[in-house]
Amino acid sequence: MRSWRIAALVVACGALLGVPDVAAGDVGSGLLLLALAGCFAVLLSPLPFPRGLPAGEARERSAEDGRPVVYWRPGCRFCLALRFRLGREARRAHWVDIWSDPDGAEAVRVVTGGDEIVPTVIAGETSLVNPGIDAVRALLPAR
């Protein structure tokens, strides 16, 4: 549930701002505020990301198929930017939401020296913290 808190807060704020406009007769402005809040909520939710795995399962699968593990969290603009820049290639990595998986958060803290800096990408012995798109693409297995 923690992953959805930011999105829910954005929707609640949009409702607090938009519903009074609708009630006052300014339907267009109220609906616009609600629609914008809904769009931002989607961006800040887990929805744009491939279905996540538990950290342990992601590590096991990565060892088997050579795909990197991308640790992320909802609301992280750097994670969102990486996800959108990868496009369909994002499916060639295993994604772990550190807010919904304490083992994933611990894996990130080990790599970053105690911080939860995301995105963190781990592939075999290679660990990258907030990497560029080219560095991540280099870790993705060939199709």
Residue 118 contacts residue 73 (beta carbons within 8 Å) = yes
Domain range 55-139, its CATH number among 3.40.30.10, 2.60.120.10, 3.30.300.30, 2.40.50.140: 3.40.30.10
pTM of the model: 0.76
Task: Give me the residue spans of the domains in the chain.
Answer: 2-44, 55-139
Burial call 30-53: b when 16+ CB within 10 Å, e when fewer = beebbeebbebbebbbbeebeebb
- pLDDT by residue for the chain (143 residues), tens digit each? 457 888 888 999 999 999 999 999 999 999 999 999 999 888 877 778 777 899 999 999 999 999 999 999 988 999 999 998 998 899 999 999 999 999 999 999 999 999 999 999 999 999 999 999 999 999 998 87
How many helical (H) and strand (E) elements, i.e. helices and strands, does the chain have? 6, 4
